[in-house]
Amino acid sequence: MTVKITYFVHGTTTDNEAGISSGWNDVDLSSRGIKQSKDLPKLYEDKFDVVFCSDLLRAVHSARLSFEDTFPIIKDSRLRECNYGKFNGKSSKIVEPLQEQMIENGFPDGESYLDVEKRIEDFLKEIKKKYDGKHIAIVAHKGPQLALDVILNGMTWEEAFTNDWRKVGHWQPGWKYTFN
């Protein structure tokens, strides 16, 4: 059987609007992000067995605004953004150029993207056991989404960064993945 996954990125945050890379800093949605999250259900027709979200406020708030009255929501810390360590809450102009250099070695006092990949692999193993044949939604961040591209779409981390919708400007109301 297969687990179907629809991946949603949390709404715009106050840090996003200020050009800040939050990482593990627990920031909330901006008024724009609140509106995006409330409008999200109008943009898709899928039905989910469960919605998983990162335990960081921006993802929890997005998931609740989008899905709380419709589907059960489960918070999972493995879906957190990459921990930028000393760079949590720093300017995106500083953090973004460093990301591809942090695939293996990681951010000082933080983690690498391979660490994020391990967290997501662990999450997927559990999902496969509990939700085989089901359709789940995930509301989370950039790092876990890129990890899914690496794990499920066979991309390298370099390819995932290059093809990231944030760089190529192709946002959509949900990305589809399957996990066998």
Residues 53-74 have pLDDT tens digits of: 999 999 999 999 999 989 999 9
**Mean pLDDT for the chain overall:** 95
pLDDT at residue 168 greater than cutoff 90? no
pLDDT at position 67: 96
> What's the confidence (pLDDT) of residue 1?
85
Say what angle helices 57-67 and 31-39 make with each other, to 10 degrees.
Answer: 40
DSSP-assigned states of every residue in 100-135: GGGSSS--TTS--HHHHHHHHHHHHHHHHHHHTT-E
pLDDT for the residue numbered 70 = 93
Amino acid 169: pLDDT: 77
Residue 76 has a pLDDT of 98
pLDDT digits (tens, 9 = 90+) for 69-84: 899 999 999 999 999 9
Annotate 18-87 with three-state secondary structure. HCEECCCCCCCECHHHHHHHHHHHHHCCCCCCEEEECCCHHHHHHHHHHHCCCCCEEECHHHCCCCCHHH
Residues of the chain with pLDDT > 90, as a percent, come to 90
The confidence score (pLDDT) of residue 89 equals: 97
The total number of structural domains that make up the chain: 1
pTM here?
0.96
Query: What CATH number corresponds to the domain at position 140?
Result: 3.40.50.1240
More reliable by pLDDT, 35 or 168: 35
List, as own/partner pairs, every contact residues 30-35 make where C-beta atoms lie below 8 angstroms and the sequence separation is at least 24, other chains included. Answer: 33/58, 33/61, 33/62, 34/61, 34/65, 35/11
Which residue is listed with tokens 């695939």?
103
- For residue 38, the enclosing domain spans 3-179
> Residue 133: its pLDDT value, please?
96
pLDDT of residue 148: 97
pLDDT in tens, 109-159: 999 999 999 999 999 999 999 999 999 999 999 999 999 999 999 999 999
